[in-house]
Amino acid sequence: MPAFYHNFPQNTLKCFKGYNLLWHVAAIILTYILVTSGFDWLYYTSTRNPLLQSFLYPAVRLGGRVPIIAPIALFVFGKVRKNMKAVGTANALGQSVLIGLLISSLYKACTGRAHPLRSLVPDAIDISREFLFGFMRGGIFWGWPSSHTTIAVAMAVTLLVLYQKNEAIRYLAVLYALYVGFGVSISIHWFSDFAAGTVFGTVIGTVVGKSFRGSIAEENKKEEGVP
């Protein structure tokens, strides 16, 4: 799948260059404000509602499976139907997932943040401010930012860039990203993990979407017979 690696190193680095680097700084500042102001803990204690959690918790599984299934299914569909636009979209989504995983894992490895599941009752001690800064002091499975959110938003924004005139795709992409983001924010992540993941995912999706937009447009012209 060579097209999957289209500008992959350049796109990964571009996520940290120029104005994009400022967005990383903004995500860090936003997290600092949400943590030190006590908003993270307030949000956590305010969302211990069984009905709310039963509605949003499936987002954890959805956010873990869709990034794997969707690009593969779309790629196979495109190959079978000889729809190169679908193939290109699958490659773009796959790359946004991979870059999202790499960037979020890098931050997690360096921040080692405690996760909400360590506090199982509303009156437990506030652990929202616990970070283990360093390298791999807290692993990369839990922590800041939310990988689920980063990847979901990256996929959604990639689609928004590629399909600017398709309202159905745009609305579905945004709804998916919001459902996953809010879902993990009331279960396995703090609100600031969700907020930072949204910022990082937007940066990644914009970079990847713009990178693939030209090649997908060319394939679309070929299929329509436009010279």
Which pLDDT score is estimated for 49? 87
For residues 146 and 197, what is the distance between their CA atoms, to the nearest angstrom? Answer: 5
pTM of the shown model: 0.92
What integer best gives the mean pLDDT of the chain?
90
For residues 80 and 82, what is the distance between their CA atoms, to the nearest angstrom? Answer: 5
Higher pLDDT, 141 or 90: 90
Q: Which of 1-10, 116-125, 137-146, 185-194 has the lowest mean pLDDT?
A: 116-125
Which pLDDT score is estimated for 215? 74
Q: What average pLDDT score do residues 107-126 get?
A: 77
Which pLDDT score is estimated for 161? 97
Phi and psi, residue 150, nearest 5°: -55, -50
Over residues 136-183, the pLDDT tens digits come to 887 787 789 999 999 999 999 999 999 999 999 999 999 999 999 999
For 23, counting Cβ atoms within 10 Å of its Cβ (0-12 exposed, 13-18 middle, 19+ buried), the class is middle
Q: Which of 16-25, 67-76, 83-92 has the lowest mean pLDDT?
A: 83-92
Over residues 168-227, the pLDDT tens digits come to 999 999 999 999 999 999 999 999 999 999 999 999 999 999 999 877 766 555 555 544
- Concatenate the DSSP letters of all residues of 15-58 into one string: TTSTHHHHHHHHHHHHHHHHHHTTHHHHHHHHT--HHHHHHHTH
